[in-house]
Amino acid sequence: MLCGSVVKAVTFAETGLGRSMLRAAQQQQWLTPTSVQSEAIPAILSGSDVWAQAPTGSGKTAAFALPLLQRLDTGAPRPRGRHVNTLILSPTRGLAVQTSEAFRALSDSAGTRAKIVALHGGVSINPQLRSLAGGADVLVATPGRLLDVLANNGVQLERVATLVLDEADRLLANEFSFELERVLEALPPPASRQTLVFSATFPFTSRPKAKRLLRPSHVRVSSELAQAAADLEGWARCLVFVGSQKAADHVASKLKNSGSADGR
C-alpha cells in the first residue's frame, strides 16, 4: 500500500507541524487530525510525493494546506516577478474559490502572510492578471483559466516547487486531458518538483495517469473509509443517501466513470 512509509500521528503536534500551524488548526477548532491528515502531513513535510485517497469531508484540503503553508513560513523561497511557488489545480470554479479561501483563513490564523491568488472563469481576467504582479506563494487555478493567463504572459510556472491536483479523478478524466497536458508542459518535470494527488476516488482509468505524475518513491495514503469503500466492490447492490439532486448526480457520475454503476 505504501511506497515509503509514515507513522500515523495521533495529534497535530505529532504530524510535525510547527507552533504557528498548530495555532491555525486550533483556531479552526480541529482537535485531532483525521486519518488522511495524520498520514499525509508528515509525508508532505518530508518532501515526498503523495497519492492520497479519502472521502469527501475527511479534511483533504487541510491535509495539504497546513504543511505547504508551514513550508512558506519556514524559509521557502518567496516568488518574484510572476513566478509561483505552489500550484493547486482545481476542476471547478467553486472548488478553486473554496480552496483559496481555506488557504487564506489558515494563513491569517498562522500569521504566514502568504500571497494566495485564485484563477478561475466566470469573472474578468484582467484583475486576475494584475493580482499576479510580484508572483504568488500559492496559486489555485482551474486549468482553462490558467492556460488563458499563460497565453497572456501573466504567470510563469517553471519554478513551481509543488503541484497539487485536487479532486484528481476529475482532472485526470478525458475532459481535462488536453488542458492538463498543456499545463504540465509549462511545469518543471516530476523529478524536479513535489506532486500531491488528492481525490475521494480513483477510477481504474485514472490510476496510470496519476502514477505517471509521481516520483517512484511516493507515499500512498488511503483512509480507512476509502479502503472500506473499495472493499464493497463485491456487493451486488448498494444504496447511497445524499442531500440533493446535484450531489446525487455527482456521485452517480463518479460511480459510472469508475465502472461501478450502470448509470440507472
Counted domains in the chain: 1
Is 6 part of any domain?
no
Would you say residue 250 lies in a domain? Answer: yes
Tell me the pTM: 0.82
Closest to 122 in 3D by CA, of 102, 105, 141, 150: 141
CA atoms within 13 A on the CB side of 45: 22
Give yes or no for a contact between 89 and 149, defined as CB atoms under 8 angstroms apart: no
Q: In terms of residue numbers, what domain contains 158?
A: 13-257
Q: Give residues with Cβ within 8 angstroms of 178, minimum separation 6.
A: none
**DSSP-based three-state secondary structure for 219:** strand
Alpha carbon separation from 190 to 5, 34, 116, 162, 184 (Å, rounded): 20, 28, 23, 10, 9
C-alpha cell read off for 230:
473499495
Is 27 a member of any domain? yes
Residue from 16, 17, 49, 15 nearest 35 by CA? 15
Q: Which residues of 112-142 are buried (b: 16+ CB within 10 A; e: fewer)?
A: bebbbbbbbeeeeeeebbebbeebbbbbbbb
- Could you list the pLDDT tens digit for every one of the 264 residues in the chain? 344 445 566 899 999 999 999 999 999 999 899 999 999 999 999 999 999 999 988 999 999 999 999 998 877 677 778 999 999 999 999 999 999 999 999 999 999 889 999 999 999 999 999 999 999 999 999 999 999 999 999 999 999 999 999 999 999 999 999 999 999 999 999 999 999 999 999 998 899 999 999 999 999 998 654 444 454 444 455 566 555 565 566 666 656 655 544 434
C-alpha cell at 179: 488542458
Q: Looking at residue 44, which CATH number applies to its domain?
A: 3.40.50.300
Q: What is the chain's alpha carbon radius of gyration, rounded to the nearest angstrom?
A: 18
